[in-house]
Structures are given as structure tokens and as C-alpha cells.
Amino acid sequence: MSINPPSILHPVFNAAQPFPPLPDINKESIRTQVFTHRSYYGRPNHVFEDHPQDPSPDNEKYEHLGDTVLGLVVTKLLLEMYPNLRVGPSTKIRALVVGNSTLADISRMYDLPARLRLHPAQAITLRASVNIQADVFESYVGGLYLEQDLPGVQPWLKALFTPYATEAYKRVREQHRLPPLPITELVAPELVLSSPPPSPPHHRPGATPTTIGHLALFNQQLQKANRIVEWIYSDGTGEGTKTTPIWIVRCEVDGEVYGRGQGGTKKAARNEAAKEGLKKMGIEV
């Protein structure tokens, strides 16, 4: 039984929309480094800069480069697919598309984890890690970009991520409680005339609208940065009623307050605090 969690997104690949083949990296030295995890050589991590005559042979630099390339290509792809999309929703969609679970899923479909060079004592654990699986995909993107530049990478990534972007767009649209788009608009948005914006959802008087999606995006950003979050609930005495209490929460990241929120449920309160946290991180929502 697989220990990998399922991908958040499940686009359908078929004859009309095939899963694109993996482009080749022709230079052997780049290809070798792409698949070399830092555990293979066991070099110390806390080094400011490598010696010019002895650069680090692992794939971390390629992974870092690939992460940037992915962000650029997917951001441009979303701009082309949904030119009227605002920055906040676009950021949420991009986070879903390039999130670790999605990248790990793609990595496994290309069988990239099997090609990793790892320390033998850690190989089984590392190869099964979602983060490592996602990292090697980013490393491959970085290595391919280094060899072939953007023209060699962008067509492949656009073909690969267009179905994921479509799926993520629908998911975030649902989170914003908007009605589904017509099929024609999902398939070819540029061919459909713009329609008036839908009316905002109706809320019962006195009810607190729940901010949907901020919490997931906030947690995802913190996970990628390996930061620790703590949710601290305070006494809501005097707020709400016995049947409809008001939850009050403070969000701390590595001991620093990132946001506060309140709501009719704990999750709603965390969503509000997460929204403030995203703004503090510079992510417009």
C-alpha cells in the first residue's frame, strides 16, 4: 500500500489531452546532479558558500532554480488562461498547481524518485517522502532550464500544467461560492463573451461569512517554508450565545503573532487569522 497522500488535483489525461513526455536533459553532468540528493555525499548543510574548486554536487541549487521557473511559467499560464482573474484567487490557484502534493504526483508519474541517488541508509524513507518527490521534479525543471533555457522548458510545462490549472481554477471558484462556469468557458475562455459578475452569496442576518481557502493556502506556504504554526484560542466569554458561540484565535508562527480571527466555528476563526497571516507574508488575498 502506498504511503503517499493523494494529489489535491486529479486532471484527466487522455488521447485528446495526453500526458506530455518528459523532455531529455542531454548533458550528463547536469542529469547526474539533478538526481543527486544531498544525503548521497553527506556534506554539511550550514555552509555559506562552496569553494570555487569544490562546488556542491547535489541537486538543491537546481531545485531552487526549478521552483522559480515553475512559478514564472504557471503564473504566465494563468494570466493567459484567465486574463480577468484577480491576483488573490490567482495566487491560490497557483499554490494548488505547484503545491508539493501535486508536484510529487507528477514526479511519480514520470518515475523520477526511482532515479534519485540517495544515501543507502535513508533511501527507502527519502524516496517515499512527498517533499523529496516534489523536490526532484523541481530539480529536473531547473536542470532542463539550465541546459535549454525557457524555450526548452515552457512548452512542456504549459502542456503539463494546463489541465492542473483548469482543475485548480474550478476548485478555487467553488471555494469562493461562485456558480460553475459553462463547459465552453472552461474549455476555451477566450472564445466566450464576458458575462456580468455573479451576485455575491446571500448570508443570513447576523451570520458571519466564512472566508474559504485562506487557511489551506496559509498552511501550504508555511509547510513549504518549514515554519511552525500554533493556534491559540482565547476565552470568548460574552461573545455569541450558548448555542452559537464565537471562537477567538491567535495565530503564531515561530512565536510571532501573524494574525487574529474569530468565527462561529474554530475553522472559521482560523480562516480569518490565516487571511491576516497571508497579508503579513505579502500574499494578497
Q: Would 21 be classed as within a structural domain?
A: no
Count of structural domains within the chain: 2
Do 153 and 231 lie in one domain? The reply is no
Among residues of the chain, what percentage have pLDDT more than 90? Answer: 46
pLDDT tens column, 76-134? 999 999 999 999 999 999 999 999 999 999 999 999 999 999 999 989 999 999 999 99
Do 220 and 156 lie in one domain? The reply is no
pLDDT tens column, 28-62? 999 999 999 999 888 877 788 888 887 889 999 99
Average pLDDT over the chain reads 83
Q: Would 3 be classed as within a structural domain?
A: no
pLDDT-derived band at 239 (thresholds 50, 70, 90) equals low
Do 180 and 252 lie in one domain? The reply is no
Do 170 and 78 lie in one domain? The reply is yes
pLDDT-derived band at 241 (thresholds 50, 70, 90) equals low
d(CA 73, CA 161): 9
Predicted pLDDT of residue 229: 84
Do 96 and 165 lie in one domain? The reply is yes
Question: The C-alpha cell of 204 is what?
Answer: 443570513
Predicted pLDDT of residue 211: 42
Predicted pLDDT of residue 202: 45
Do 247 and 185 lie in one domain? The reply is no
Global pTM value? 0.63
d(CA 272, CA 261): 5
The amino acid at 92? K
Q: Would 119 be classed as within a structural domain?
A: yes
Predicted pLDDT of residue 114: 95
Are 153 and 145 in contact by the 8 Å Cβ rule? The answer is yes
d(CA 179, CA 210): 17
The amino acid at 178? L
Do 149 and 34 lie in one domain? The reply is yes
Helix axes 60-81, 87-97, angle to 10 degrees: 130
pLDDT-derived band at 237 (thresholds 50, 70, 90) equals very low
Residue recorded with cell 493556502: 217
275: Cβ contacts below 8 Å, ≥ 6 apart: 211, 214, 218, 259, 261, 285
Q: Would 18 be classed as within a structural domain?
A: no
Are 131 and 43 in contact by the 8 Å Cβ rule? The answer is no
Are 270 and 215 in contact by the 8 Å Cβ rule? The answer is yes
Residue recorded with cell 512548452: 155
Question: The C-alpha cell of 236 is what?
Answer: 470568548
Q: What is the CATH number of the domain that holds 179?
A: 1.10.1520.10
Torsion of CA 157, 175, 246, 266, to 10 degrees: -40
Q: What is the CATH number of the domain that holds 270?
A: 3.30.160.20
Q: By residue range, what is the domain housing residue 161? A: 28-190
Do 100 and 237 lie in one domain? The reply is no
pLDDT tens column, 145-154? 999 999 999 9
Question: The C-alpha cell of 124 is what?
Answer: 527507502
Are 147 and 27 in contact by the 8 Å Cβ rule? The answer is yes
**Residues carrying an active site annotation:** 67, 138
